[in-house]
Structures are given as structure tokens and as C-alpha cells.
Homo-oligomer: A and B are copies of this chain.
Amino acid sequence: MEFIENILGRLIPVKIEGRKLRPFQGAFADDGGGRKRVTPPIPVSKPGQNKLCSLREAIEKSGLKDGMTISFHHHLRDGDYVVNMVVDEISRIGIKDITLAPSALFPCHKPLIEHIKNGVITKIEGSMNGPVGEHVSYGGLPKVAVLRTHGGRARAIEDGDLHIDVAFLAASSADDYGNANGVDGASAFGPMAYGYADAMFADSVVIITDNLVPYPCAPYSIPATHVDYVVVVDRIGDPERIVSGTTRITRSPTRLLIAKYAAQFIKESGYMKEGFSFQTGAGGISLAVTKMLGEIMEEEGIRASFINGGLSTFAVNLFKKGLVAALYDGQVFDRGVIESFRNDIKHVETPMTMYANYHSKGCLVNRLDVGFLGATEVDVDFNVNCNTHSDGLLLHGIGGHTDVAAGCGLTLITIPSYRKRIPVVRERVTTVTTPGETIDAIVTERGIAINPQRKDLIERMKGSNLPIVTIEELKDKVEKITGKPEPPRVKDRIIALIEYRDGTIIDVVKEVEK
């Protein structure tokens, strides 16, 4: 296999499984290449169409065959029944060699491992959170997996790099013509933002719902214009695991300290001013920072123009108090958010292209002032790993991490300096997910390291009471506690590509020795 070094010094194969790879050249090096999008065949729409059918009929009518690609969204999170249900049916029909292209997989998708073993699934293009990732890490998947960011996945679909033959999209409410939403019904989950590009660009689109409503299903997130079949099932998921009843903030003193440092850093950085914006997530630290920012905003009378996320009740509360003018919503973490999303016209849906597609005329991550993100590892070049653990196991998806970092004015990584005696701040991350050039500071309980590229920030934070350190100092501090980390024990075989949001390859993941 021939390799080429990308701009971060990571070795990328020139070609893999027939696909010519482009090495990562920098966060904004790609210019779109002058290409045009690839679109599905032109359909026709005559009166009297009947789209209602069983799952088996939908699979058969869609023309799904060996070697094709199917896709799913992950709005049902760890409560999803749809992926397993569809792959089970495909397996029963006897179709093999399928590429699975979900926006993300969760622990509930562990049964897919059996379908990998029996040859139904031979490739995965999508995020893997948990057991499927572990199985892939140990070499269990015949073909090389591809991981993309939220924006990168939408880009790949729209550009034709990820061609979807059949998209199976769960809806908590749909009519018999395929108009679908995620806000009505017992399995309500919020926006359908992860599935929008799939609906627009897949050759065939199947809506799967457990709540068939009379035509027209209004409001709609996916319009009937892009739907071929509608399948009604008993349950699309387990409501208790789709969204939480409530979102809990971290109680760990270490994590609360990190959150406090981050909120203080944001305040002192100058980014926190009237009309600023920020991105939140579901992690315990992220929720705590959101809450603390809200408290500072309330004290100081500062209002934000918008919060973007993955939204929790913490964000919605700031919105309801009038501290935030609008909410951009890509996914919902707790039940209280759904009502706000459904009913408030300033709480709007953000399909992934709107959120973060680099190949658009303007995605909203570019308008974010502040983002605070997690990581499994960071290194002295400020590169961030969100995908693998330090033992090399591929256990997490990318999410919007890389997208936000690229777009945001101030990107903070908020992480404990070590976990279970394994250092998080390291010489070199096991896997690069997000390039250091897009990261502004690493905030840990043992100090805050500012990227030396951000001379303005370093200057501004002089005289701050916050524990500002260099990244090397931080690494040394941590290693004094943890010792030097062991490198992961990996084989030569590449099991996954980490694709940057522009379609270039930023890193590869290798098979882990058992």
C-alpha cells in the first residue's frame, strides 16, 4: 500500500478499496473543486400513488440489492429500534454486502455485530458509539469504515461522495404520503435534521413511523415530495431512551471546576458580549458551562443572538428568559426541548447542511462565537481526538466537533487532564479528529493552555486569575501524575478513515490487537 503524509504528518493511503484518497491539507484549503452535485433520478408524481406498505415490501420495491448502501438518522439515539429492524429484514430477505451509512450508531445497535459476522453488512460509513465500534476496532468489519463530521456527512451526501441507495428514516409522525415530523406522537424526538440530506439525495426514501396521521402531517420536517414509501410499525423506539426525562448536570467537583474555568475564560476573552452566540452539547461539562454562562449573562445583562446545538432544557430556559433571541436545533436531548421546538417560531430546525456543510454558501458554525467541546485526547499541537481511546479502540463518533472548531471564533476543549490514570493531554493524539489550527484553548482542571497561534488571546489573558499555562507545562504536570502513556497496541491494517469535513483524510484508525 502506498502512503502519503498529510499536512499533520499522518500517513494516509493513496488509495483504498478503489477510492482515491485526498490527504488533509488544512482546515480551509479545499475550494470545492468546481464539481457539481450528483442528484437522484427524476421521479414523477401522479394522482393515486399508494406509498403505504410493509417494511419488506418497501425494501423490495426500493430495488435494494447486494452491494448497495442504506442510511439512517440517529435522532432516536440509544432508544432506536429502526436500524436493527431494517437490517434484520434485509437479512431475512437474503441481501448481503450492504454498506450501512447511519449518521450514528449507539450501544442499542450491538445486534448489528451478528449481521456483520454473517455478511449482511460489510462496510460502515458513519459514527459508531460503543460496541459496534469496538467490534470494528478488532478487525471485525471486512471493509474500511469511514467516519465523518455532521457537516461532512451532509457534504458527502450532497456532493455524491456518499451515494445512498435507500434511506430508512424514522418519524414519530407521518401521513400516508410521507410528510413526516419528529415532534408529534409517543416517540417524539424533535427535528429530523440528521436525515434531511438523506431524504433530499437518496435514490429511494422510506419513512418508518409508529404514528400514522391523516394527511397532511403538519408541520413537516421531511416533505412528501422526497418520499417513496411509508411503513407503519408498532414502535420506532423506546421513548425513555430516545430523550431523557431531564438532563443532569455533572456533579463531579473536577468537571465543575473545568466548567467554571471555561465560563470565566469565555467571559474574560472578550467573546461574551451583547449578541454573542454559542454551541452547546449533551456532555456534563458542556451543560454546566451553559448553565454558568447563563448565570453570567443574567447578572451582567448580556443577551445572546442564538444558541446552537444539541439542545437541553438549560438552553431552552435561557431562551424562555429572553437571554437568547433564537435557538438553532439539530437534535434534542431532553423532553422539555421538544415542546419549545414544536411551538416557538424562533426555535428553528437546522438540517446538517445549514449547520455545518463546508460545501454550502454559508453554514451557521461560521457564525458561532464560542464553542466548548469534549475530547478523548489532545496533544501539544492542539490536535484533538474524539474518536479513539488511548488503547486505540474506536468508540466514539465525531459529531459536530470538527465543524464547530473550524467555524467558531473561540473554540475551547473542556476536559479533565487525565482519566483513570491515563493522560488526556499528550505528546501526540492516538487519532486526529480535529486539527489544532482550529482549536483556541484547552481547559482542564490543572490549567488552561492557549494555542500559541492565538497571540491576541494570550495577550488578553495576561493578568487573569485563571491558571494559564503552556500546553507543554500542562502535559508535564499530567505526566507527573500518570506517567508516560503507553502507545496503543495496533496492527498494520487500517480499519477506518477519519474524513475531514471537506472530504480529505485527516487520519486513519488501525486494528487493535486483542
Interface set of A (CB-CB < 8 Å, partner B) = 28, 30-49, 51, 159, 177-178, 205, 214-216, 218-220, 223-228, 275, 305-306, 325-326, 328, 342-343, 345-348, 353-354, 357-364, 366-367, 406-407, 409, 502
Contacts and interface: CB of A to CB of B under 8 A. Distances in A.
A346 B218 CA distance: 5
B45 A361 contact: yes
Instruction: Kindly list the 7 A-B residue pairs having the minimum CB-CB distance in the complex, ordered from nearest.
Output: A225-B360, A37-B39, A32-B42, A218-B326, A224-B362, A47-B366, A43-B361
22 contacts: A32-B41, A33-B42, A34-B41, A35-B42, A36-B39, A36-B42, A42-B359, A43-B359, A45-B366, A48-B366, A49-B362, A49-B366, A51-B362, A205-B361, A214-B305, A215-B367, A216-B305, A216-B326, A224-B354, A224-B363, A225-B354, A227-B362
B215 A44 contact: no
A223 to B, nearest CB: 5
Q: How many copies does the complex hold?
A: 2
A47 B223 contact: no
A275 B361 contact: no
A44, A51, A305, A357: most-surrounded residue (chain B CB, <10 A): A44
Nearest to A34: B41
A31, A51, A326: most-surrounded residue (chain B CB, <10 A): A326
Q: Is the interface of A mostly helix, strand, loop or mixed?
A: loop
A45 B363 CA distance: 6
A30, A328, A348: most-surrounded residue (chain B CB, <10 A): A348
Nearest to A408: B47
Contacts of A32: 41-44
Contacts of A275: 214
Given A218-B346, A345-B218, A358-B45, A177 B367 contact: yes
A275 B214 CA distance: 8
Contacts of A406: 47
